[in-house]
């Protein structure tokens, strides 16, 4: 199963960006944890991980993987709350999508309570810091996998 992992804007600064909200782990740390999880999985999982600060680039990356991705994990970051274009790209590709947030967006400012992405996602995982990514990956393997044995 091929899983595209997308990190949106400002997530390249994790570790330095408001650690009281987003944690101390860097994006490299998170990517490494995901790779380790895949290495330990009995399933045949291939991850492709991309970070971009640009909405159009995220739209392009999603579209470019239309024939490759079996599932998409995405932390759209601030584009969660603004981007119909990313939502449309995800709908176009038509594979299962899981939306990820490090923080609990519903416990934060009002403008973060609305997501354009949730309506096209199988589910949303948020509030668990870097662990949100592992939970989402586990859920995606469960969705795509042949058995209930997640890992
Ligand atoms: C975020 C939450 C968003 O509201 C914010 O704009 C981000 C990160 C999260 O992971 O908690 O950049 O997606």
The domains found in the chain, sorted by start residue, are: 2-144 (3.40.50.9100)
What average pLDDT score do residues 99-120 get? 98
Residue 147, pLDDT score: 59
Question: Out of 7, 79, 101, 133, which one is annotated catalytic?
Answer: 101
Bridge partners for 3 per DSSP:
47, 71
Under 8 Å between Cβ of 3 and 71: yes
* CA-CA-CA-CA dihedral for 120, 121, 125, 130, to nearest 10: -100
pLDDT tens per residue, range 8-63: 999 999 999 999 999 999 999 999 999 999 999 999 999 999 999 999 999 999 99
- The model's pTM is 0.95
Under 8 Å between Cβ of 117 and 69: no
* Whether residue 12 lies in the annotated active site: no
At residue 151, does pLDDT exceed 80? no
Residue 77, pLDDT score: 98
Residue 21, pLDDT score: 94
Residue nearest (by alpha carbon) to ligand 1 atom 12: 77
- Quickly state the pLDDT bin for 129 (edges 50, 70, 90): very high
């Amino acid at each position: 199963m091929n899983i595209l992992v997308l990190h949106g804007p400002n997530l390249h600064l994790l570790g330095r960006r408001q650690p009281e909200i987003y944690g101390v782990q860097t994006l490299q740390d998170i990517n490494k944890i995901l790779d380790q999880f895949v290495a330990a999985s009995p399933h045949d999982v291939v991850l492709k991980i991309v970070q971009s600060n640009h909405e159009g680039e995220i739209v392009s990356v999603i579209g470019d993987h239309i024939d490759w991705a079996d599932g998409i994990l995405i932390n759209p970051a601030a584009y969660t709350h603004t981007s119909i274009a990313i939502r449309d790209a995800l709908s176009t590709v038509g594979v299962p999508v899981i939306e990820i947030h490090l923080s609990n967006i519903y416990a934060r400012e009002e403008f973060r309570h609305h997501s354009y992405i949730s309506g096209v996602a199988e589910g949303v995982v948020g509030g668990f810091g870097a662990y949100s990514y592992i939970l989402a990956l586990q859920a995606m393997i469960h969705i795509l996998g042949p058995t209930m044995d997640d890992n």
